């Protein structure tokens, strides 16, 4: 009850309207937090996450609040509006999922390209570290994309895996070879950084009550825009209609497919580190295809 009172008081302060819980129902929202849709006595609804994440994952809710705020700022794709956060909870605008419109994939592609165009930056990184699932994602600012990807993305995931395996593991040896060749893959990237959702798979995108795209649960940072597509291709769900529409707004330069495969590998390695050896052969296969 103490936590409920704190959340009510926080909503009251953020919205300038008295907040009193009436009822709540369980909602999907990740495995480390308790997620509920809460209806207040005045009929307003909010999506609220609470749970043990603040102990193991400090700054988890703050990072999500900042990312949702920045993603929604350009107003080109719908993002649930964050209301307030504290260490133990985050309150977000609730929305009702609907049936995707017939042109949902095309809208997603166009709006994602418009988001990227609207959020360009001269530096790679983010204002704070955040989490990709439950993996801490370092985001120190860098002026060089190859260095950022080598040290804070691919190299970071390989270092995490090295703590779990033998020094002679073939995947680590192949990873070292790939790190040494990053300049060949990424050295010609001369685009500015853009704000990425960072974890854009089909489970973190949906349709709202109007059938239009809505994205949530980000792991945002400023990076090369093709890195977004790397995650989008990992489990499918977006497909060629979405990518074609993206390129109608902002075409991808030559060599994109190899770079996107490299970016997908980062997420495959993260799944290896989070969920175990079932992703080992996938990572090995992707590395072989690049080398």
Paired residues of 213 in beta bridges: 207
Residue 229 CA to residue 138 CA, distance in Å, equals 20
* Residue among 77, 80, 16, 72 at smallest CA distance from 48: 80
- 249 CB contacts (<8 Å, ≥6 apart)? 109, 110, 113, 114, 117
Find the radius of gyration of the CA atoms of the chain.
Answer: 20
Q: Which of 199, 208, 217, 258 is catalytic?
A: 199
* Residue 199 annotated to the active site: yes
Sign of CA dihedral 199, 81, 36, 14: positive
Sign of CA dihedral 194, 199, 203, 204: negative
Query: With 0-12 CB in 10 A as exposed, 13-18 as middle and 19+ as buried, what is 121?
Result: middle
**Residues catalogued as catalytic:** 199
């Amino acid at each position: 009850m103490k936590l409920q009172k704190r959340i009510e008081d926080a909503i009251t302060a953020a919205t300038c309207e008295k907040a009193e819980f009436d009822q709540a129902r369980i909602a999907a929202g990740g495995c480390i937090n308790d997620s509920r849709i809460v209806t207040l006595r005045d009929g307003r609804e909010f999506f609220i996450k609470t749970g043990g994440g603040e102990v193991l994952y400090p700054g988890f809710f703050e990072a999500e609040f900042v990312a949702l705020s920045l993603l929604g700022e350009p107003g080109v794709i719908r993002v649930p509006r964050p209301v307030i956060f504290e260490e133990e909870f985050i309150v977000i605008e609730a929305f009702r999922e609907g049936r995707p419109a017939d042109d949902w994939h095309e809208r997603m592609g166009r709006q994602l390209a418009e988001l990227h165009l609207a959020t360009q930056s001269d530096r790679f990184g983010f204002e704070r570290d955040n989490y990709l699932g439950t993996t801490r994602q370092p985001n120190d600012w860098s002026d060089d994309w190859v260095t950022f990807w080598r040290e804070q993305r691919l190299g970071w995931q390989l270092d995490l895996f090295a703590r779990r395996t033998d020094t002679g593991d073939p995947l680590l040896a192949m990873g070292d070879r790939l790190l040494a060749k990053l300049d060949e893959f990424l050295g010609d990237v001369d685009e500015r950084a853009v704000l990425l959702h960072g974890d854009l798979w089909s489970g973190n995108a949906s349709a709202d009550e109007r059938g239009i795209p809505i994205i949530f649960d980000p792991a945002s940072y400023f990076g090369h825009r093709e890195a977004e597509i790397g995650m989008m291709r990992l489990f499918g769900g977006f497909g060629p209609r979405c990518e074609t529409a993206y390129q109608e707004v902002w075409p991808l330069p030559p060599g994109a497919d190899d770079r996107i495969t490299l970016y997908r590998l980062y997420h495959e390695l993260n799944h290896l580190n989070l969920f175990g050896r079932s992703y080992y052969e996938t990572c090995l296969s992707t590395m072989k295809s690049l080398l």
